[in-house]
Amino acid sequence: MLDQPDGATLVDMSPVDPMAPTEPFGVYVHVPFCTSRCDYCAFATWTDRFHLVNDYLDACVIDAARSLDGAPLATSVFFGGGTPSLLEPDQLAKVLAAVRHADGAEVTVECNPETVDATKLAGYRAAGVTRLSFGVQSMVPAVLASLGRHHDPAAVASAVDAAGRAGFDGEQLGYNVDLIFGAAGESPADWEETLLAVLALDPPPHHVSGYGLTVEPGTPLAHEPDRHPDPDDQADKYLLADQMLSAAGLSWYEISNWARPGAECRHNQLYWDQGEYIGIGCSAHSHRVDAESGSARRWWNVRTPDRYIRLAKSGQRPSAAGEDINPQARLVESLQLALRTRAGVPESSLPGWDEDPVLPELVTPAGSGRLVLTTNGRLLANEVAIRLVPAPCDSVENEVENLRLSS
């Protein structure tokens, strides 16, 4: 993996050693089941299809065998949801076994705190899971209720305790906490309390994701304007989170993510680096690059588990649609993604930024000709992103050339 000076993150050009998979390659497994539906959530998940779980996992195994055929060994596997932690360790193990992954691969499972105990987490660990991601959202009961969550702070504490006992207590084996800020009725003090409580967990998280509550079209929340977050309040909360998490040794590395050095999520980093990945399960996304042409293809699977099962079991590809991304579009995308991270973008992609009336407050030089978002800039990342200009076309030519050489 190399960061090109022009901002495109490209496939490593060094000769590939088949025994040492230096090229990151990810596999995402979607688990579309939840015990109840949170009214802000737009993910593909169902609360009434538990009878499909085993068929679904079988379908995932079949799909994985087919779609990973000839693919590199996975360097990261991510079980996302939905609520993957509803799976028993043996169920999870069965799917993980079908996903060929490298030794030392990062294997993450998203867990709803109220669904796990020490036995289950030990079972996950034994199956090869290296990282847990807890959907904590808040540590204030009233805020959890406002979000429609069914756990309380005590459930978080005991889930974390169980994680610690199962060995998820350090940098390499550790756990992440997902937080949401800006729920209706959440005061600044509530948010501070959440952050303090999360940092006081034992063992402490090695990684925190903090998401501003987003009103997703089509969700019940979308129809209740009174409960929509206030952007200024969210901005204040973001700044507080950044300050408190940094002070606790978790450094910012992507808009919504902070980690202890070395504990960054490799799987998510893959997305931001425009890396390659295959999605298994309904609604999962995949991305492969065609080294020959320099283009890439992204596609996504059918949305419902029913259809996914039907297609996978009958030997068909479960994809619903996709798009080809030409080299120019890839370049744009790579800048947009890199901008969100601490890697930042090359100065050339924001020509004249230092003359601009606002950009100097939003980006700052980070050495070696790159610009990275300031804290305020992170809050206005879209505004910066739409001002990005990809380098002129000849560098695209170069890239295509490079890709050819590397293949």
Q: Which is nearer to ligand SF4, 135 or 174 (CB)?
A: 135
218's tokens: 């089509």
Nearer of residues 5 and 141 to ligand SF4, judged by Cβ: 141
Pairing label, strands 345-346, 370-373? antiparallel
- Say whether residue 158 binds other proteins (CB under 8 A): no
378 lies in the binding site for other proteins (CB under 8 A): yes
CA atoms of 342 and 4, how far apart (whole Å): 15
CB-wise, 101 or 151, nearer to ligand SAM?
151
Query: Closest Cα partner for 134 from 106, 166, 176, 165?
Result: 176
Tokens 């100065």: give the residue: 347
Q: Which of 10, 21, 45, 331 binds ligand SF4 (CB under 6 A)?
A: 45
CB atoms within 10 A of CB 324: 12
* Site string (59-98) toward ligand SF4, x via CB under 6 A: ----------------------xxx---------------
C-alpha span between 191 and 235 (Å, rounded): 12
Q: How far is the CB of 135 from ligand SAM (least distance, A)?
A: 2
Site string for ligand SAM, 254-273 (x = CB under 6 A): --------------------
Using CB under 8 A, which of 185, 231, 262, 351 touches other proteins? 231
For residue 399, CA distances in Å to 270, 288, 328, 368, 406 come to 19, 16, 10, 20, 10
Does residue 332 bind other proteins (CB under 8 A)? yes
Which helix (DSSP H) or strand (DSSP E) does residue 336 occupy?
Answer: helix 327-339
DSSP lists the bridge partners of residue 74 as 101
Distances (CA, A) of 227 to 137, 186, 232, 303: 16, 11, 15, 28
Q: Which stretch binds ligand SAM (CB under 6 A): 77-85, 243-251, 257-265, 275-283?
A: 77-85
Residue 279 sits in the site that holds other proteins (CB under 8 A): yes
Q: Which is nearer to ligand SAM, 100 or 267 (CB)?
A: 267
Of residues 3, 16, 37, 88, which one binds ligand SF4 by CB under 6 A?
37
Say if strands 370-373 and 363-365 run parallel, antiparallel, or are unpaired. antiparallel
Region from 79-87, 200-208, 292-300, 327-335 binding ligand SAM, contact rule CB under 6 A: 79-87
Contact with ligand SAM (CB under 6 A) among 98, 147, 180, 282: 180
Half-sphere exposure of residue 348: CA atoms within 13 angstroms, side-chain side: 12
Closest by Cα among 256, 265, 263 to 109: 265
Residues with Cβ < 8 Å from 217, sequence gap 6 or more?
A: 42
Nearest to 40 by CA among 113, 115, 135: 135
Q: Does 224 bind ligand SAM (CB under 6 A)?
A: no
Which one, 112 or 130, has the nearer CB to ligand SF4? Answer: 112
Buried b / exposed e over 241-251, threshold 16 CB at 10 Å, is bbebbeebebb
Residues in contact with 94: Cβ distance below 8 Å, sequence separation at least 6, in sequence order:
57, 61
Q: Which stretch binds ligand SAM (CB under 6 A): 121-129, 206-214, 265-273, 342-350?
A: 206-214
Q: Cβ of 379: how many Cβ atoms within 10 Å?
A: 20
Q: Does 43 bind ligand SF4 (CB under 6 A)?
A: yes
User: For the chain, how far is it from start to end, CA to CA, in angstroms?
Assistant: 14
Pairing of strands 276-280, 257-259: unpaired
Q: Are residues 359 and 383 in contact, defined by beta-carbon separation less than 8 angstroms?
A: no
Alpha-carbon distances, residue 282 vs 217, 237, 305, 307 (angstroms): 20, 34, 6, 8
Q: How far is the CB of 181 from ligand SAM (least distance, A)?
A: 9
Determine if 41 is a binding residue for ligand SAM (CB under 6 A). yes
Residues 101-120 that bind ligand SF4 (CB under 6 A): 112
Task: Tell me the closest approach of the beta carbon of residue 317 to other proteins, in angstroms.
Answer: 17
Sign of CA dihedral 123, 127, 130, 134: negative
30/266 with CB nearer ligand SF4: 30
Q: How far is the CB of 32 from ligand SF4 (least distance, A)?
A: 9
Q: How far is the CB of 139 from ligand SAM (least distance, A)?
A: 13
Instruction: Name the site residues for ligand SF4 (rule: CB under 6 A).
Output: 34, 37-38, 41, 43, 45, 81-83, 112, 135
Instruction: Name the site residues for ligand SAM (rule: CB under 6 A).
Output: 40-41, 43, 80-83, 110, 112, 135, 137, 178, 180, 211, 213-214, 216
Instruction: Name the site residues for other proteins (rule: CB under 8 A).
Output: 28, 78, 80, 211-214, 231-232, 234-235, 238, 255-256, 268, 271-272, 277, 279, 284-287, 298, 300, 323, 329, 332-333, 336-337, 340, 357-358, 376, 378-383, 385-386
